Amino acid sequence: MTHAPPHEHTAPSRYRARLARLRQKQESSFVPIFLHRPMAILLLLPIVEVKWVTPNRLTTASVLMRVVAAAMLWPAAWGGLADTPAVLWGAAVLWNLGGAVDAADGALARYRGTSSAFGRFYDKVSDRLLTLCFMVALSGRAMIATGEVRYVYIAMVYVAMMSASSVAKWIEIGIVAGRGDGDAGDPSERSAPARGLVGWLKYWLWSLRTVFIMTEMDLPLWGSIAVLTHRETWLFHYLAVITVPYALITVVLRARRLYLLDRPPAALETRAPAGASARVEASA
């Protein structure tokens, strides 16, 4: 009977192998890239082989943490807890820890090759509902502080646009995958490539541009900062001016790509300049 070399059983080599397998998803939002996914990987490294730790149980733990955080942020004027530093910091910690655990469930499923239809449904639908809970709580805080109901309207528009953007994304991914046209229709669904130090530096520097786009994946960090600094109104102004228009643009761009997928190749070649048909097909 043969045995693996001793060095393969050492803790450093074991963790390096786990790390390589856990880095399987290419993120596209600022907070997941720089905070929640690194936290998720650190959380999973020592427990990824523990059998009773399952993706769906991680999703449940994430949901519970974020539900408690949203309840802690419920306005005191509406029967919520008093805005003490302990309450606000506790909510911020639970909100972001829940976001990290939310990133860990999918990473664990990919690591073990146990992704399931229900797990995807549970993860995505709970994220949408929790975003609604947090936006109701935050907009309520802003409305009570200012006496202006417009923050509730902004919150509802934000939730609607984030939901529409998510639906458009998954429809495109499903259609592209069903056609067998190559990679998934979104960078975050592609496997992370192997990178050296220079490659990681380039990736991190390029990813810094996403700091200006506050998707629902980024909301735990920026929402926590807004609450801790009592600047909830600033958060909603930013969402109205930057994030909602950005989400609308992404939906329109996805609609255009799907529209081009429905066009017969002959029609595309007829409309395209000479030598440009290949570029049109690639952009679709």
Taking the alpha carbons of 140, 146, 148, 151 in that order, is the dihedral positive or negative? negative
Q: Are 167 and 186 in contact (CB under 8 A)?
A: no
- Is the pLDDT score of 194 beyond 80? no
pLDDT tens per residue, range 234-256: 999 999 999 999 999 999 999 99
Q: Does some domain include residue 16?
A: no
Q: Does some domain include residue 15?
A: no
Task: Round to whole Å and give the CA distance between 145 and 237.
Answer: 15
For residue 221, the one-letter residue type is L
Name the one residue in this structure whose structure tokens are 């300049």.
273
Q: Does some domain include residue 107?
A: yes
Q: Answer with the residue of higher pLDDT: 171 or 267.
A: 171
Six-digit token pair at 206? Answer: 């390029």
**Total domains in the fold of the chain:** 1
Closest CA to 71 of 137, 121, 165, 142: 137
Task: Round to whole Å and give the CA distance between 185 and 176.
Answer: 6
Q: What residues contact residue 15 under an 8 Å CB cut-off, 6+ apart?
A: 45
What confidence tier does 56 reach under pLDDT thresholds 50, 70, 90? very high
Q: Does some domain include residue 11?
A: no
pTM: 0.82
Q: Does some domain include residue 8?
A: no
For 5, the 3-state DSSP assignment is: coil
> Can you give the pLDDT at residue 2?
44
For residue 115, the one-letter residue type is S
Q: Does some domain include residue 194?
A: yes
Name the one residue in this structure whose structure tokens are 């329109």.
252
Q: Does some domain include residue 122?
A: yes
What confidence tier does 13 reach under pLDDT thresholds 50, 70, 90? confident
Q: Does some domain include residue 4?
A: no
- CATH classification of the domain holding 38: 1.20.120.1760
Q: Are 209 and 179 in contact (CB under 8 A)?
A: no
Q: Are 156 and 239 in contact (CB under 8 A)?
A: no
> Can you give the pLDDT at residue 83?
94
pLDDT tens per residue, range 256-283: 999 998 887 765 555 555 554 444 343 4
> What is the domain range of residue 233?
24-283
